[in-house]
A and B are shown apart, each in its own frame.
Chain A
Amino acid sequence: MSYIITTSDLTKQYKDVTAVDSVDLHVEEGAVYGLIGRNGAGKTTILKMLSGLAFPTEGSISIGNDHIRKPRIGVLIEEPGLYTSLSAVKNMEIKRIALGVPGSEKRSRELLEFVGLANWADVRCGSFSLGMRQRLSIALALSGDPDILILDEPINGLDPQGILDVRRILMKLSKEDGKTILISSHLLDELGKVATVYGILERGHLLKEASEEEIINAMPGYVRFIVDDTAAAKTVLESMGIYSYQTKSEHMIHVLEQFERRDEMLEKMVMAGIHVHECQIIRESLEQYFMGVTRGEA
C-alpha cells in the first residue's frame, strides 16, 4: 500500500514560536494514523496544514497517490462548528450544498443514520449532548464522501458511551469502507484501540513513526507467573539461564522481557511438577511507551 499523505520538512512558525519543526509524515492509504503528543506538541497545527486551514512556513505536503490522485478530505478540527439553531439534517444539508455534493436530503439522513442520529435528524442540534454533537460533526465530515478523514481530538470531553460510539464509527469507516483516518488525541489508551500507525510528537518534532506491531514489540513488559512454589520456579528459570526476574509475592514472579521463551518456561515449570495458575505477557500501556519515547528511552 502506498502513502496517501506525505510531508517533507513541514514547518510552522508563529512569530517566535516554532509550532511544527521539520516534520516528515508518512500516512499509508487505509491506515488509521494516530498523532499523539502533549498539548502544544503541534498536532492541531499539522492537521490544520494538511486540511489547508493553515499555511506551512516551510516544507511541503503531498496528498494523493497513484490510486487516488486527488483525494477528498473530510475535516473535524477542534470544536465542531454547528449551526445550533438548526436541526441536524439542516446542518447536513448546508454542508452537502456547500460541498456541491449532488443528491437530496435522503443522503444526509443516511449519514445521520450511520452515526446513530437517525431519530434526532429533525431536532435542533443546540439541544444535543457533547457526544451527539461529536457524532454529528463526524457525519458532517463524511458529507463529501471523503477518502481521507482528518479528526482532531474527536473523543475529547466525551463520556464512556460517547467514546464507545465514536470508536465504533471509526472502526466501521476504517474496516468496512477502507477510509484513511488521521486522528489526533491525547487519550492514548483509547487511540490505541483504533490506530494502526502512530506518529509521536513532542514540541513540534516528530520523534517516531511506528506501526502498531512495531510499537507492541518495542513496548517493555514482563511475563507474569502465578505458581504454588516460587523457589522451585526460580530454580527452573536459572537452569534456563534466565536471571532477569523479580519475586513479587509468595506466588508471583515477573520475568522481564523473554516474551518469546514464555512457552518454554511454562513447559519446564510444569515438567518440574510446579502448579502454574497463570502465565501471561503483560506489556506497558501506550501511555507508558509514549512517555518512554518522549524521554528518549525508545
Chain B
Amino acid sequence: MKHLILAELYRMKNSKSPLILLLACFGLSLLNAATSGLMFGNAPWLISMYEEAFGFNPFEAALGSGAGPNVDSIRSLADFISASNGNIGIFLVFFIAIFLLPLRRNGFIKNIASEHSRSRVFGVHALLVLVYSFLLTDVSAIAVSLMSLAFFRNLPIGNVLDIAVYLVVSALISAAIGIVVLMLTDLTSRPISVIVMSLIYLWFVFPLVYSISSVGAMLRPNAGFRLLYISLPGNQVMLTAGKWDTVLSSLLVVLFYVGISVLLELTLLKRRDRI
C-alpha cells in the first residue's frame, strides 16, 4: 500500500489537472476574499479612488448604507480567513471526477497497479483526497491572506494556533466531503451522476437551504434551525478560528461521515473483491 501511495503521489505531482484545479481554487479564493473584504473590510485607498473617479462610495451603493463595511468584525487575519471561507469541497469533487474517477473505472486495479484489492485502492485514494484537501486549503488561505493586504491595513495575524487548527479542521471537513463522494461513486454503477449531484448540492442546494435556514434563525432565534449543523458543508460554514465549540462539532461530524463511508466501502468492496 505504501508503494501505491507513493506512485499516486508521483502521478499527482506530474499531472496537470491537480495543478490547474489549485490555480482555479486560488482564483476563486481571491474572489471570495474580495467579497468578504467588501462586506467586512475598509479599503480607504479603494474608496477614495472610487469617490474621486465616480463621486460615490461603492460599498454603500452596492450593499446599501445600512450594510456597509463592518470593520469591527474583522480583528485579525484569523477572522478574515474564517469570513472568507470558500467551498474547497467543490474542488475536491472536481479532483475526484478528473483525476481519480477515470482510473477507478479503468486501468488502475488492472494493468497499472496490478492491485486486486479494491479496499486498498479506496484507502489510497481517500488518502490522496486528504492530501489534496490540505493543498487546496493552504492555497486558499494564501489567497485570502494576500487579499487581506488590499482591504486592511496592519491587520494583525492573530493567534497562530487558532489559524492552524482552523485550517486543519477545514481541510478535514473538505476531505470528508471528498471521501463521502468517493464512497458514493463506488456504490453506484453511474458514478458520474454522483459527481453531478454532488456539485449541484454543494453549489446550489446547500447555499440555498443554508440561506433559508439562516433567515429562519434570524426571524425565530429560539426555533432551533440546527439541521444543517449535522452536514459537512454546514460545519464548513460554521467553523470559526478560535471558536473551539465549532472545531469540536466539526471534528465529530467528520468522524461520523468518514466512519460511515469507510464501513460501507469495506462491506461493499470486500464483497466485490470476491467476484
Contacts and interface: CB of A to CB of B under 8 A. Distances in A.
A95 B7 contact: yes
B156 interface: no
Interface residues of A, number: 31
Chain B CB within 10 A, most for which of A74, A97, A144: A97
Contacts of B273: 55
Contacts of A79: 106
A86 interface: yes
Interface of A: 51-55, 73-83, 85-86, 90-91, 93-95, 97-100, 137, 140-141, 144
A76 B111 contact: yes
Interface in B1-45: 2-4, 6-7, 10-11, 14-17
Given A53-B116, A55-B273, A83-B11, A97 B110 contact: no
A81 B3 CA distance: 18
Given A76-B111, A81-B110, 20 more contacts: A52-B116, A55-B273, A75-B111, A78-B110, A81-B106, A81-B107, A81-B112, A83-B112, A86-B14, A91-B112, A93-B10, A97-B3, A97-B10, A98-B4, A98-B6, A98-B7, A98-B115, A137-B111, A140-B111, A144-B114
A112 to B, nearest CB: 16
Contacts of A97: 3, 6-7, 10
A182 B6 CA distance: 30
A54 B275 contact: yes
B239 to A, nearest CB: 35
Contacts of B7: 94-95, 97-98
B10 A75 contact: no
Contacts of B113: 95, 98
Contacts of A55: 273-275
A81 to B, nearest CB: 2
Given A54-B275, A55-B273, A85-B16, A94 B112 contact: yes
A203 to B, nearest CB: 21
A52 B15 CA distance: 29
Contacts of A90: 11, 14
Interface in B217-256: none
Given A55-B273, A55-B275, A141 B111 contact: yes
A100 B16 CA distance: 24
Nearest to A82: B107
A51 B110 CA distance: 9
Nearest to B112: A81
A235 to B, nearest CB: 63
Contacts of B114: 51, 73-75, 98-99, 144
A141 B2 CA distance: 20
A141 B113 CA distance: 10
B264 interface: no
B4 to A, nearest CB: 6
A100 B108 contact: no
B109 interface: yes
Contacts of B275: 54-55
Contact of B3 (A76, A98, A140): A98
Contacts of B116: 51-53
A41 B70 CA distance: 74
Contacts of B115: 98
Contacts of B3: 97-100
5 smallest CB-CB distances across A and B, nearest first, come from: A81-B107, A98-B7, A81-B111, A100-B3, A97-B7
B15 A86 contact: yes
